[in-house]
Structure 1
Amino acid sequence: MPSTPRPLRKLGFLTIGLFDADDPARGHETTLEIIELGERLGFDSAWVRHRHLQYGISSPVAVLAAASQRTRRIELGTAVIPLGWENPLRLAEDLATVDILSAGRLNPGVSVGPPMHYDQVKDALYPDTADSEDFGYERVRRLLDLVRGKSASDFSGVEGFEVFSDRVQPHSPGLGRRLWYGGGSPGSARWAGEHGMNFLTSSVVKAEGPQDTRDFAEIQLSHVRAFRAAHPDGEAARVSQGLVVIPTDSASPQQRARYEEFAAKRLPRTTSPQGPARLLFAPDLVGTSDEIAERLHAHAAFREIDEVAFALPFTFGHEDYVQILTDMATKLGPALGWRPGGGA
């Protein structure tokens, strides 16, 4: 097995938290059970996706608040909160509150851009300001400043019986260092680095520039390097990779067949950039842990990171997630040089 320049230090997973519209409580409970399982298995982090007007987690901060009370060690992240739906001041308050409740385990990941299907939702989301909202990096900068303790008001002091602060309360001092930007382009990677954020890179990148735009790993590697070149911490700046990874060591024959069919249906989109944004998708990795580890060790971007948040497929069942997570923690992680508690 080839060695990697950066042995895997932190093993995490990502779930979308799907639920049935007729029984949303059960779906949310299942997500919390999966996070609890992740802690028992020794995972370093559990991440949830953000889905508006869909049958997935619409309020990850609330879900992670619940998870914070049912776990003690595992880090809790969002990958990612689309800030086009958020007021940075209110979000900063929520994030700080959950970070306090979790004893400093929150890792908020965010992204920019207009909300999905904006023309259809803008009248409900921003009825008075839809045409003047800024969905660019300025929204992230505002959140960063507020989380890091910069002034939110020109007033502080006592008014009657009430005491007012000029910055977001509660203030969680370490949270500002645990903010992540989810990006898929060189520009977003550089911006995140310049502003001292951590960088989430997933199974989707933008194929930009004159280089061979069909080599996903090389494109992703260029983003990792652009981020670290711009970051004050340089090569020590944190990057997490979020590929779809499905180990089959303890899977039943029926599960293996279903996993392979899932990956095969998604494979054609990986052969060339898709749509006007020229999005390039990474192939899903399905196989034994040794087979997956060999492919990851050969992956140009994986060789330069030491944290992962492997994405669980959206449509699998609870028993499938239990099998996949168990194999990740007991087979794949060790094959990649990871050990429980080694990322502390």
Structure 2
Amino acid sequence: MGALRKLGFLTIGLFDGADPRAGHETTLEVIELGERLGFDSAWVRHRHLQYGISSPVAVLAAASQRTSRIHLGTAVIPLGWENPLRLAEDLATVDVLSGGRLNPGVSVGPPIHYDAVKEALYPDTAEAEDFSYTRVRRLLDLVRGERASTFGGDEGFEVFSDRVQPHSPGLGSRLWYGGGSLGSARWAGENGMNFLTSSVVKAEQSEDFAEVQLSHIREFRAHHPEGDKARVSQGLVVIPTDSATAEQRAKYEAYAESRTPRTTTPQGPQRMMFAPDIVGTSTEIADRLHAHAAFREVSEVAFALPFAFDPPDYTQILTDIATHLGPALGWQPGQ
């Protein structure tokens, strides 16, 4: 696909349960730093009943008021936890507040540990909830302005709309599906979404990560109305060490080594494949990415920041990505 056009990053936004504000503030500061460094997008993960961001839409609402240019995304909101109509209202509100910079990424499936949480989440409808792609379709239709009610008009002093308000016309084209299988890639393409592919895929036709990811990208574009022009963002973990201290380099290498065993073979009954974390100088990382079959098919990335590092580490990593790795991949700010 040529030179890299859009450079983004993804953060999980961890916090201490005894002092949650500090962690959320750090996440906002990281997003502000990303804007100053020229990144095109900043994405946040979604974590329910964990010590990570449980309400990314609220966090991005705050981020929208502390930034002016950088696009803000979710990777991803698991829709099994959400009411599509209410989520559509929240997404549209934040998109309006941000000036049209929101990029919501979503996925479907039952909530994790559903049997343990269903009585709190859906006490009356747990067995009837539909966690299929139909849930995404509902969200798409509502965000894109389809009718949400059979009633619209004046009632006394109040005025009612028959579709979600506020309506943000461009938001429908900035919805992303986070998929790791051929089926999800195909569905996202058929429904005109953008496609997020990460460091986790399902080994369906191969046990080579890059080959599997490449097959998903091509399946998505083969079924998308825009074909090869359809947007795909890749989200590998890369850790450049250009300006890292010796202590940081040792930490990064130990982190990647501890995660390497899971990358050698498919994991679990779903046969999930994990991409190795890439640690090294920007030149070394760029060489490995240029040799990566799936990377060669994309022009947008959202490199994932490692879990549980310290703020100075994230500053160093993001600075090196923006000033060394991005340019080595052909990226220029403001493309």
1:282 maps to amino acid: A
1: CA distance between counterparts of 2:108 and 2:32?
A: 30
Q: Is the aligned partner of 1:291 residue 2:284?
A: yes
2:320 maps to amino acid: D
Q: Is the aligned partner of 1:115 residue 2:111?
A: yes
> Offset at 1:124?
0.0
Q: What is residue 241 of structure 2 aligned with on the other side?
A: 248
1:338 maps to amino acid: W
> Offset at 1:315?
1.0
Q: What is residue 324 of structure 2 aligned with on the other side?
A: 331
> Offset at 1:179?
0.1
Q: Is the aligned partner of 1:16 residue 2:9?
A: no
Deviation per residue, 1:161-190 (Å, 9 max, x gap): 100000000000000000000000000000
Q: What is residue 156 of structure 1 aligned with on the other side?
A: 152
Q: Is the aligned partner of 1:57 residue 2:53?
A: yes
2:167 maps to amino acid: H
Please show how residues 215-226 of structure 1 align to structure 2 within 5 Å.
215-226=208-219
2: CA distance between counterparts of 1:198 and 1:70?
A: 26
Secondary structure of the 2:105 match is strand
TM-score by length of 1: 0.97
1:54 maps to amino acid: Q
> Offset at 1:150?
0.1
2:178 maps to amino acid: G
1:149 maps to amino acid: G
1:176 maps to amino acid: G
Query: Which stretches in structure 2 are left out of the alignment for 5+ residues?
Result: none
TM-score by length of 2: 1.00
> Offset at 1:6?
2.3
2: CA distance between counterparts of 1:134 and 1:266?
A: 34
1: CA distance between counterparts of 2:314 and 2:147?
A: 43
> Offset at 1:251?
0.3
RMSD of aligned Cα (Å):
0.5
> Offset at 1:82?
0.1
Q: Is the aligned partner of 1:90 residue 2:86?
A: yes
**Matching residue within 199, 202, 205 for 2:198:** 202
Q: What is residue 313 of structure 1 aligned with on the other side?
A: 306
Q: What is residue 267 of structure 1 aligned with on the other side?
A: 260
> Offset at 1:214?
1.9
Secondary structure of the 1:113 match is coil
The runs of at least 4 consecutive aligned structure 1 residues that moved more than 4 Å come to none
Query: Which stretches in structure 1 are left out of the alignment for 5+ residues?
Result: none
